Structures are given as C-alpha cells and as structure tokens.
Amino acid sequence: MVNVAIVGGGPAGLMAAEVLAGAGCRVTVYDGMPSLARKLLLAGKSGLNLTHSEPWERFVARYRPAAPALLAALDAFRPDALVAWANALGADCFVGSSGRVFPKAMKASPLLRAWLRRLAADGVAVKTRHRWTGFSDKGLTFETPDGAVEVAADATLFALGGASWPRLGSNAAWVAPFRAIGVDIADFRPANAGFDVEWDAPFIERFAGAPVKSVTATSDAGTTPGEFVVSRHGIEGSLVYVHSAALRDRLDRDGKADMVIDLVPGRSAERLARDLGRQDAKASFSNRLRKGAGLDGVKAGLAWLFSTEEERRDPVRLAARLKALPIPLARIRPIEEAISSAGGVRFSAIDDRFMLKARPGVFVAGEMLDWEAPTGGYLLTGCFATGRAAASGIVNWLDAA
C-alpha cells in the first residue's frame, strides 16, 4: 500500500484525504495547529456558505482570470455534487434567498465532526501540532512538541492555505521553502477585504458601524446590488467584497480608486431630479434629501460628505450625484484581516494533475494556488474541487509510476 502525506488539514486537504483513502492509499494528514480546519470552523460561525446555486456559466465566471485553469477541477465537482456530498454527511443543505447554499445547522462544526469520523473509519491518520518546516533528503521535516521529525512518503499533497487569517494557520510560511526549490509563486495580496476611507471626524463619530442597505455599487467588476457597512477605518461587507479585487487592482495600477454607489437604485435620475426640484429651496439639505429622495441617516451623511455645495443646491446635479456617489478609497485593509488572499503557486508551475513541475511527486491544492473568488460559497467550492483534483492527480501519477 502506498503512503501519501497531506500537509494541511483544511477543506482541500481533507477532501484529498477522502479521495485518496477511497483509492486504497494509506493517508496521513499533518497539521500545525492543535486541531483541524480552524478557518472552516470560524467561517462557519455566522453560517457556513458551502457553495452557490446560480447557473453554471455564471458560477465559473466568478473565478476569473484563473477560471480556465480551474475549469476541469470545478467541473468534476460542481455545486450540486458538493451539496450531495454534504447531505450524505447529514448536513441537509438548503438554498437561501440569495442563492447561497448552507447546511441547515448553519454551523461548520456538525459537518466537520461527521466528516472526520468518516475519514477515521476509512483509515485516515491525523497528526496535529506538526508544523512543516521544509523539504529534506528523506522527504519532509516537521517541528512537533517532541522535537523535529522527518517523514517519507510516496507522494505528498500540500494544502497549507494562503496568507489571510494567519492566527488560524494560513501564514504563508511555506512560500520560502517552495521558492527555494524553484517554484514560481505570485506574491500574496488581500482579497475579499475592506478598504480605508479618509472619513471626517463628525461623520465617523455618528455613523461608525452603520449598515448602508439597498444600494448598488459599481467598479471595474460591474454593477451589483447589496449592502455594506461603514466602519471607523472605511467600508467593509459583502457588497465591498464583490468589488474588492477590481478596486484593489485599480489602486495598485492608478494609485486611486472609487467605489461608486447608487443610493437610490429604485428611481431614475430624471425622476429623482423632479422630486428634489419640488422641495423648498430654503429648506435644509437633510429635509430636502429626506422628502425628495427618501434618504436619511448614513445615506444622507454619505451624500453630504461626497457632494459639493453647488451640487447640493442644484436638483439635477444632486440627482446625478446620488445615482453615482464616488467613495474615494485610500488603501485596502491588511491581508491579516482579509477573508481570503490572491496569489500563490502559479498555474504555470504545476501540470494538469496539480503536481509541481519542480518537484515530481509533490502536489498542491486550495488557496496555495494563484486564484481568488468572491464570497458566496465560491472559495470553499474551489478548495474542495482542487483538493479532489489534486488527489486524483496523485492516483494517476502513482498508477503511471
């Protein structure tokens, strides 16, 4: 029986372990933390979003520009297959109003417990508190509570994650050893992250923590409806994350970027101008905005902050501004705060089995690879799918050896 070492016990690593054990391999999962899948557990605290139910063509497009490289892996484990897999573990998934798919229990812990029981029954061994420190002549070196150990395996799969949430284990410490053996790696950048905005003091004292609901946002990624939150440092939330990659790239390219908000998506600019024009010109801006546009609270605060005095006095110009209010972004938040990261092992550094070209017998999966996707179940689906694909690649490589 062949021995396969899996380094990293998150979704990608555990999915690979399941496939490999089913193929008759002796599998050992090594993880540096005291327990497995800590990032999955934290993500599931507010509702474990496993995948998304939207049409396949739209779903795959969420992974651009890496979609072509991921297509085969995603196609082999589509969202409906992932749901069937989760249901078999007792998760009993449902589709929310947004099209996102969740287990009925919402949390990750019941699914993870059932999964680990099944893996143990399949003979998968788990060694926690084993922090990978590099390659050796024998194979792999780990730091453990009992000192350094070396491990030999017939094949190795790395699923050590990216660079976000480092306190949970994804600290990108693997990058230097991989580069040392000639693996081409794109530098990590924050993804699905908030942005700093230079608010003025009165605005932030009044509105920090306020949700901005029922708006649309526009960037190079297109226009999408949703909501976000004003924080003390800037903006964050689901609508921001949809646009974070495009806004981050524009900031990197041009040194500046705006997230453009339509505060009144239900009304045209023409109608809004008529409604505003009916208001008493001598009334306060807040009253004209409330009566003419139905805006108050944080939306009114944003309208005041990012419009000029001339615009506020002219109904046509004010309507145009309310329909396209630019929020100037100073910088993206640090990668330590990001939900996920962009960057990692470039697809040019692996073959179609997810094996490193620089190190035969060593495979990679999950967020170690250079891809990103928005929140909404796409991140987890990508990790599950690449874990399965890399495991299948290992089986193929071992059979051909």
Q: Which of 5, 379, 385 is nearest to 170 (CA)?
A: 379
Helix (H) / strand (E) element for 29: namely: strand 26-30
> pLDDT tens digits for 341-373?
999 999 999 999 999 999 999 999 999 999 999
Residue 109 is predicted with a pLDDT of 94
Question: Same domain for 13 and 152?
Answer: yes
Banded pLDDT at 44 (limits 50, 70, 90): confident
User: Order of strands across the sheet with 26-30?
Assistant: 125-127, 26-30, 3-7, 155-158, 362-364
Question: Same domain for 184 and 310?
Answer: no
Helix (H) / strand (E) element for 42: namely: helix 38-43
Is the C-alpha dihedral spanning 22, 3, 148, 349 positive or negative?
A: negative
Banded pLDDT at 45 (limits 50, 70, 90): confident
Residue 363 is predicted with a pLDDT of 98
Residue 137 is predicted with a pLDDT of 82
Question: Same domain for 264 and 357?
Answer: no
Question: Same domain for 252 and 287?
Answer: yes
Question: Same domain for 236 and 283?
Answer: yes
Q: Which of 295, 24, 158 is nearest to 307 (CA)?
A: 295
Question: Same domain for 128 and 232?
Answer: no
Question: Same domain for 310 and 341?
Answer: no
Residue 273 is predicted with a pLDDT of 97
Q: Are strands 93-95 and 100-103 parallel, antiparallel or unpaired?
A: antiparallel
Total domains in the chain come to 2
> pLDDT tens digits for 212-243?
999 999 999 999 999 999 999 999 999 999 99
| Residue 120 tokens, joined | 């143990």
Task: Give the residue from 295, 312, 332 where a domain finishes.
Answer: 332
Question: Same domain for 383 and 317?
Answer: no
Banded pLDDT at 175 (limits 50, 70, 90): very high
Q: Residue 127 in 3-state DSSP?
A: strand
Rounded CA separation 142/129 (Å): 9
Q: Which of 174, 143, 171, 173 is nearest to 157 (CA)?
A: 174
Tokens 């550094």 belong to 349
End-to-end CA distance of the chain: 14
Question: Same domain for 73 and 210?
Answer: no
CATH number at residue 180: 3.50.50.60
- At residue 102, φ and ψ (nearest 5 deg) are -130, 155
Banded pLDDT at 43 (limits 50, 70, 90): confident
Q: What predicted TM-score, i.e. pTM, was given to this entire model?
A: 0.93
Asked if residue 401 has pLDDT above 90, the reply is no
Q: Which domain covers residue 309, as residue numbers?
A: 195-332
Q: What is the CA radius of gyration of the chain?
A: 24
Mean pLDDT of the chain: 96
> pLDDT tens digits for 146-172?
999 999 999 999 999 999 989 888 999
Question: Same domain for 15 and 73?
Answer: yes
DSSP tag of 62: T
> pLDDT tens digits for 245-279?
999 999 999 999 999 999 999 999 999 999 999 99
Question: Same domain for 78 and 147?
Answer: yes
> pLDDT tens digits for 320-339?
999 999 999 999 999 999 99
Give percent of the chain with pLDDT exceeding 70: 100
Mean pLDDT on 181-207: 97
Task: Give the residue from 305, 332, 359 where a domain finishes.
Answer: 332
Question: Same domain for 307 and 391?
Answer: no
